[in-house]
Amino acid sequence: MTEATAIRKAELRETVQRLAASMPVTDMHTHLYAPEFGELLLWGIDELLTYHYLISESFRWSDQEYEKFWSLSKREQADQIWQALFLDHSPVSEAANGFITILDRLGMDISSRNLDDYRKAFAEKSTEEQVDAVMQIAGVEKIVMTNDPFDAVERKVWEAGNGKKDKRFFAALRVDTLLNDWPTAVKELQALGYGVETSWTDRTKEEARRFLNEWIVRMDALYLAVSMPGDFVYPAEDHRSKMIDEVMIPVCQERSIPFALMIGVRRRVNPGLSLAGDMSMRSDVSAVEALCRRYPDQKFLITMLARENQHELTVLARKFRNLMVFGCWWFLHIESMVEEMTRFRLELLGTAVIPQHSDCRVFEQLIYKWEHSRRIIGNVLADKYERLQDSGWQVTEDEIKRDLNDLFHQNFWRFLGRNQ
């Protein structure tokens, strides 16, 4: 190690922070779409203010009937949320603070608190312009969407061959209906011409596999994805286990793609809140253990929603190299949890983890979700390097770049076997 390549102690943290702030990111799970998907791509001020994270927070301050809220136009809903969360009270929550970060980084005058001015500034942009600008500001280079062939609007885009045009966007085939609502899946599959029936016959399995195979190829899907309730058990004598063992794993293996499971949701705890009414739920990590053990050649991307499951899941990743832990999901995507989880993940796994995904639903959210996460992850990493430096281990700028590139980008692609 030469004097020239070693970083002086006083500069170490600043160097890590600078590199963490600018390292290009692959966002491996979002609900964003390429511009070709038209109305499915949400962006703009009213979409930002009516993000379901903010809807549930605004109801903390309101006794309005849920139906009344849903009957309002999007703009009226946004006005109400602005009033409740930004004017009547201070926007200290992660999601509310994130909205302010977005406005600021887009060059708006935060001190004016003038929603009309903000609206005007957004209205001047085209979708394409905003997508380019946001990706540039956020430093996000590649975005993985969440894609569902049962969605009629989305299906048309793929069938017209427009889903793969924008090379910055990648597909993930979402299979929730097949696993969690088989009767609906049967109807959808039949309508698309697949010869399935409710009972678990050989032909049904074959046709379900054909459906997945055809759609993986059509979308060039990077992985299969599902969100599971917290009471997901595997193996079990139930539909889910049969679907996983006889349809999903065989197809993933044939196509050499990972299976992503997001475990620990309790859907519609308060149905009146719609999408904002879902809860988290503690899960049994042994389901993941059983999958990883039974299918050592199958890769699993796993995230869990309950804080209580995080440490055990991270320990499990030490035991199974076919398990990649990813992201701080949903209610865990807050400053304190990202800090805690990143710290023990690095302590248990080194840099062999995907520390964050954004889960954005509205395009500009990329700005705040990544800026906030980059800062925390950079800080935790700096702590670790400082400790090494105290023992005489010199870390170079190139090594810091290598590590951040792994965390924000390359670990995902390497796990997929598709180095970018």
Backbone angles phi and psi of 325, in degrees to 5: -80, 135
- Between CA 70 and CA 65 the distance in angstroms is 9
The answer to the question of residue 47 lying near ligand RAT (CB under 6 A) is: no
The answer to the question of residue 361 lying near ligand RAT (CB under 6 A) is: yes
| Host H or E run for residue 173 | strand 173-174
Task: Give the number of residues in contact with Zn ion, rule: CB under 5 A.
Answer: 1
- Between CA 345 and CA 317 the distance in angstroms is 10
| Cβ distance to ligand RAT smaller for residue 232 or 320 | 232
Work out what residue 331 binds among Zn ion, ligand RAT, none; the CB cut-off runs from 5 to 8 Å by kind.
Answer: none
| Cβ distance to Zn ion smaller for residue 275 or 388 | 275
Task: Give the number of residues in contact with ligand RAT, rule: CB under 6 A.
Answer: 7
Q: Under rule CB under 6 A, which residues in 220-259 are in contact with ligand RAT?
A: 227
| Host H or E run for residue 257 | none
Stretch that binds Zn ion, among 54-62, 154-162, 334-342, 358-366 (CB under 5 A): 358-366
Among the listed residues 94, 176, 188, 359, the single contact to Zn ion using CB under 5 A? 359
Q: Tell me the residue number closest to Zn ion, measured at CB.
A: 359
The answer to the question of residue 330 lying near ligand RAT (CB under 6 A) is: yes
Residue 104 CB, nearest approach to ligand RAT (Å): 23
- Between CA 12 and CA 6 the distance in angstroms is 10
Work out what residue 364 binds among ligand RAT, Zn ion, none; the CB cut-off runs from 5 to 8 Å by kind.
Answer: none
Which amino acid would we find at residue 404?
L
Q: Under rule CB under 6 A, which residues in 371-410 are in contact with ligand RAT?
A: none
Residue 227 CB, nearest approach to ligand RAT (Å): 4
User: Where do runs of H (alpha helix) occur along 113-232?
Assistant: 115-123, 127-138, 152-159, 176-180, 182-191, 202-219
Alpha carbon 75 to its chain's center: 26
- Between CA 42 and CA 134 the distance in angstroms is 13
Work out what residue 87 binds among ligand RAT, Zn ion, none; the CB cut-off runs from 5 to 8 Å by kind.
Answer: none
Strands (E), 177-299: 224-229, 259-266, 279-280
Work out what residue 269 binds among Zn ion, ligand RAT, none; the CB cut-off runs from 5 to 8 Å by kind.
Answer: none
Ramachandran category for residue 62: left, alpha or beta (phi over 0 → left; psi -120 to 50 → alpha): beta
- Between CA 239 and CA 179 the distance in angstroms is 7
Q: Under rule CB under 6 A, which residues in 170-189 are in contact with ligand RAT?
A: none
The answer to the question of residue 364 lying near ligand RAT (CB under 6 A) is: no
User: Residues in the site for ligand RAT, rule: CB under 6 A?
Assistant: 31, 227, 262, 275, 330, 359, 361
